[in-house]
Structure 1
């Protein structure tokens, strides 16, 4: 795969993923403005991941049958339709539908692009390189989406955060997937591999019988939940502190930049440290940041915490992927990755609803402290992780 084609695919993922990231900032703020509770906002944010839970395996099979462009076309249609509906009907049920559509489109896009890029790599060295660059796309999108949405909400209308500014924001979010399609439509389709006749089907759930895989999945769930809870509770905390939408979007954007930056320099760090030590350090830092966050009042200090948390959580996924490939059989890496994706997305559905309800009872500060305590306790599981070469 040429560098130019890879860059085009990365940009395509950024545009479509940014639609979901921007909607995930704009729709909760509009819901809060309309008087909905933290629990309702938690439900709304959870819906962005709900379709990804059920679409992960079907989307992978669809991509196996049809390649890259057809799954991407359906994803673009779903994402644009979801954001466009809220332009016309900015009501809470329509925002929930938009969350389902844009979330599902993003999950299907990730699977289609990862499959295409992995099959296009010509050797193991190129495989590592292309996946390292592709991993930066979600972090870049998580900056672009909230940052653009926050600026539009504050400055695109007649006054900050009026209904017109939200409609303009949703319209721009609906146009981003179109740019994705313009970038991906000329991509070279790869030759499809026919299924092996008489092959015995495998069950991904059998992997859970392996203790080290269960432990790694639990550790990855802790880090992923921390990421999701931060994305959910930060807009509410900022709203309580009187921060504007552009400021909240910038704080979330700083988190995304830090998560992307650490992945660029991570190969240098990984040469001097094991996967377990990197994940353990990240776990400790994450727990500390969640305990400090509710004590802060200024946007600058919250932004600093966001950057530190971005560095910590951004370093985890490459380490988890490295360990996962070493502790699972080579012939079952795809199943292991699919099970990991389903687990993370299921967590993304449950955690915002759980902590949204908790926030309504104990307050947002209590949510931060509970998450920090759970992550700190999870460091024991990180310490017991061991890597062995799979057969």
Structure 2
């Protein structure tokens, strides 16, 4: 599938280390996200401040994503991952050294930028290990398990650390994780990407948007990513309003991630039998229903159930989107396409949490979920368009 690939066994043996690298670097962001959200609420800054901090996670990727894609196409895996590790380490150290609002904000900004650099390179590297469409879904399901496992473990660990040892211990955990990710990355073989003839690499990423299938796929991805952001915003706010402990809020967030992990394992098992676009549309219908009723779920157990259902629906999205993206873009430009996808989703993510915060403050905490249920109904149209255009050159 990709002419960049060295012998498959050369990379496939390193695949577990690739996923482990993603888990560690993503966990730094997950720890920072939960600790920062609870810190601002505990210090009386309100829902709007949570929205601002969550928006900051997406600011740096807007600036860095396209560059990260070119960097990955040109240099492969290790250089962008190393830059991401440095950025994540700097952000975590700032929050640990000075627990003030400006320092927490810088930490959120840096950890979001670190993910933009590392994840594009990791996703591109994973695509080199797939042989066909079914294998793409399988590979990207394993890759998607990285953030799911990170989101399952990090919120619970962060909540327990905050409850029993304070916020400084949580930010200390965020300092350790980037160093761990770099150590794991060294297990992945180094191989320079082939340079392709014809000047393809010099073309701007925006040129890829001429393909209708990619345009509509990005619209679909934006809508589904915004639903994920709405859930991440609402759970700490609703949990805090109901008087739940940090550990209970972590369990609610963790139940979402556990469900996302389980559905991605199921995709690994049945990848050859799954139609990507049918799976996406079914996930959208399930998420729409749960987003509409989530506000009335009772207590910690009810929120855990609702989050688990949303995790099943939204957790299936990334493997399907990434597999489809690799089928509708040229192999030598996969890094650019992945960077463009990250730019699109993070561009929406900057505005979404702040908008969610203002909407929740002006109405009720669950209003962002109702808004996103409406958006998913409208997103069925681009899903149909992707199917119509996916086979076009």
After TM superposition, is the score higher than 0.5? yes
Q: Is the 8 A contact 2:141 2:267 kept in 1?
A: no
1:17–1:138 CA contact under 8 A, matched in 2 = yes
What corresponds to 2:28 in structure 1? Answer: 19
Summarize the Cα distance change of 1:349–1:271 in structure 2 as closer, same or farther, 3 Å threshold: same
Alignment: residue pair count: 382
In the alignment, the residues of structure 2 paired with residue 105 and residue 169 of structure 1 have an alpha-carbon distance, to the nearest angstrom, of: 18
Helix, strand or coil: the match of 2:298? coil
More deviation, 264-273/105-114? 264-273
Change (3 A) 1:36 1:6: same
- What secondary structure sits across from 1:364 in the alignment? coil
- Give yes or no for contact 1:116–1:190 (8 Å, CA) kept in 2: no
Q: Which moved more, 1:379-388 or 1:142-151?
A: 379-388
Q: State the partner residue of 2:60.
A: 51
Q: Report whether the alignment pairs 1:298 with 2:299.
A: yes
Please report the TM-score for the alignment, with normalisation by the length of structure 2: 0.89
Shift of 1:304: 0.5
CA distance, structure 2, for counterparts of residue 69 and residue 276 of structure 1: 32
CA distance in 2, matches of 1:346, 1:370: 18
Whole-angstrom distance in 2 between the partners of 1:207 and 1:199: 11
What's the secondary structure of 1:243's corresponding residue?
A: coil
Write the mapping of 1:1-391 to structure 2, written as runs, cut at 5 A.
Answer: 1=10, 4-119=13-128, 121=129, 123-124=131-132, 129-156=138-165, 165-194=166-195, 196=197, 201-267=202-268, 271-272=272-273, 274-328=275-329, 333-387=334-388, 388-391=390-393
Range that drifts further, 131-140 or 92-101:
131-140
- Larger RCO (alpha carbons 8 Å, 6+ apart): 2
Rounded Cα–Cα distance in structure 1 between residues aligned with 2:187 and 2:350: 34
Structure 2 Cα separation of the partners of residues 332 and 86 of structure 1: 36
Contact 1:326/1:390 (<8 A) preserved? no
What SS does the corresponding residue of 1:180 show, helix, strand or coil?
Answer: helix
TM-fit CA distance, 1:115: 3.1
Give the Å deviation of 1:142: 1.4
| Cα distance between partner residues in 2 of 1:132 and 1:355 | 29
How far apart are residue 56 of structure 1 and its match? 1.0
Q: Deviations over 1:136-192 (max 9, x none)?
A: 111111112212111111122xxxxxxxx1001101111111111222234321134
Distance 1:269 1:118 in 2: 18
Displacement after TM superposition at 1:37 (Å): 2.2
Cα distance in 2 between the residues matched to 1:362 and 1:171: 36
Measure how far apart 1:32 and its partner are: 0.9
CA-based RMSD:
2.5
Quick one: distance in 1 between partners of 2:208 and 2:11? Answer: 35
Give TM-score scaled by structure 1 length. 0.89
Q: Give the superposition deviation at 1:356.
A: 1.0
